[in-house]
């Protein structure tokens, strides 16, 4: 019977960037989800509010493209944000069949609060890295993401 007191990962697995990225991604997602839940928020709330703040009002379809949230999930996210007074929906004057979503003053205040929460969570996630290493790590991840986004663009 094998001794499970020391579980070892084979070297060929520990050397695989894809495996390491998946493991760190899982840890990051868990950390962010749990951290935002402590302030009654979700990562999609943050993404929508950040998009509206940075790029201005948009339709549900536009927000879906900006944030990577599936259109079918966007309605629920917007319902939650609207119920809390963080966004407003209004008919699009150019096309009455769709709504334009706008961040409210309360939504901007909430976004600033979430920025602080996210800063703390990223501090925890990247704790083992020095400031220069953090910047380099984020730069490398950005290059990888941009390269693969160009290779297979997402609608």
In contact, 139 and 129? CB cutoff 8 Å: no
Task: Write down the CATH number for the domain with range 34-149.
Answer: 1.10.10.10
Contact at 8 Å (CB) between 62 and 99? Answer: no
- Residue 150's alpha-carbon distances to 20, 30, 47, 69, 79, in angstroms, are 23, 28, 21, 19, 32
* H/E element, 103: strand 95-103
Q: State the Cα–Cα distance between residues 103 and 105, nearest whole angstrom.
A: 7
Per residue in 60-88, pLDDT (tens digit) is 999 999 999 999 999 999 999 999 999 99
Q: What is the pTM of this model?
A: 0.84
pLDDT at 97: 83
Domain boundary assignment for the chain: 34-149
Phi, psi of 9 (to 5 degrees): -95, 130
Angstrom CA distances, 74 to 13, 27, 77, stand at 37, 24, 5
**Neighbouring C-beta atoms of residue 102, cutoff 10 Å:** 14
Percentage of the residues of the chain whose pLDDT score is greater than 70: 94
pLDDT in tens, 91-121: 988 888 888 999 999 999 999 999 999 999 9
**Residue corresponding to tokens 């910047």:** 135
Tokens describing residue 87: 């966004």
CA–CA separation, 98 and 118 (whole Å): 32
Neighbouring residues of 68: CB distance < 8 A, sequence distance ≥ 6: 47, 154
Please report where in the chains the tokens 């663009």 appear, as a residue: 153
């Amino acid at each position: 019977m094998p001794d499970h007191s020391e579980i070892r990962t084979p070297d060929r697995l520990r050397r695989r960037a894809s495996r390491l990225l998946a493991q760190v991604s899982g840890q990051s997602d868990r950390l962010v989800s749990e951290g935002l839940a402590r302030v009654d928020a979700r990562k999609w709330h943050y993404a929508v509010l950040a998009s509206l703040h940075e790029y201005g009002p948009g339709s549900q379809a536009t927000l879906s493209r900006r944030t990577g949230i599936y259109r079918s999930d966007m309605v629920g996210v917007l319902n939650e944000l609207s119920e809390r007074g963080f966004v407003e929906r209004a008919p699009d004057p150019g096309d009455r069949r769709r709504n334009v979503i706008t961040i409210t003053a309360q939504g901007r205040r909430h976004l600033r609060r979430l920025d602080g929460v996210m800063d703390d969570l990223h501090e925890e996630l990247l704790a083992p890295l020095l400031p220069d290493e953090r910047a380099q790590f984020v730069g490398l991840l950005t290059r990888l993401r941009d390269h693969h986004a160009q290779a297979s663009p997402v609608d």
